[in-house]
Amino acid sequence: MNANRGFGCRCWLILLLPFSLLAQDTLRFTPTAGYQTFKVREPVLRMKPGQVLISETMMGPYYTKEGGAWPGEVGPIYIEGATPQDQLVVKLLRVRPNRDLAPAAISGNFGGLASDVRVRLLNPPVPNERFLWQLDR
């Protein structure tokens, strides 16, 4: 009877060990400022390879009203030991909404939809359009 008790305790400790190691290698980051440009900036966070990051997206007027400003991009995040020649692997372990609104927009003068004055258009320009979905969480 004592042998079973000891075995049960050892299994319990072995199962808890990976969770405690994971807790030590997890960083939490809440962005406080976003930027409208992809400019070279100081890192907002430093991480080691293998660490887990828990973060949120930023909220801004873009989400709540027509013509509202985009909250901007957050970053960069510095990875210890990485060089510009390295190819980094990022695994998304879990993604879930952190608010009840989901916006999207189409702009006819951006990216692959932008017109070119040097060529004739086969179709009329794509109109700017904004979508706002209410999410069930």
- Sorted by where each begins, the domain ranges of the chain are 2-95, 96-137
**Residues 88, 136: Cα–Cα separation, whole Å:** 34
Segment 19-33 shows an average pLDDT of 72
Residue 68 CA to its chain's centroid (Å): 21
Task: Dump pLDDT digits (tens) for 33-88.
Answer: 888 777 888 999 999 998 999 988 777 776 677 777 777 788 889 999 999 899 99
Beta-carbon contacts of residue 35 (< 8 Å; ≥ 6 apart):
41, 72, 73, 74
| Residue 23 clears pLDDT 60, i.e. is over it | no
d(CA 111, CA 24): 42
- Which DSSP category does 70 fall into? P
Output the pLDDT for position 7.
36
- Encode pLDDT of 91-135 as tens digits: 988 888 878 888 887 776 666 656 666 766 676 777 888 888 888
Predicted structure pTM score: 0.59
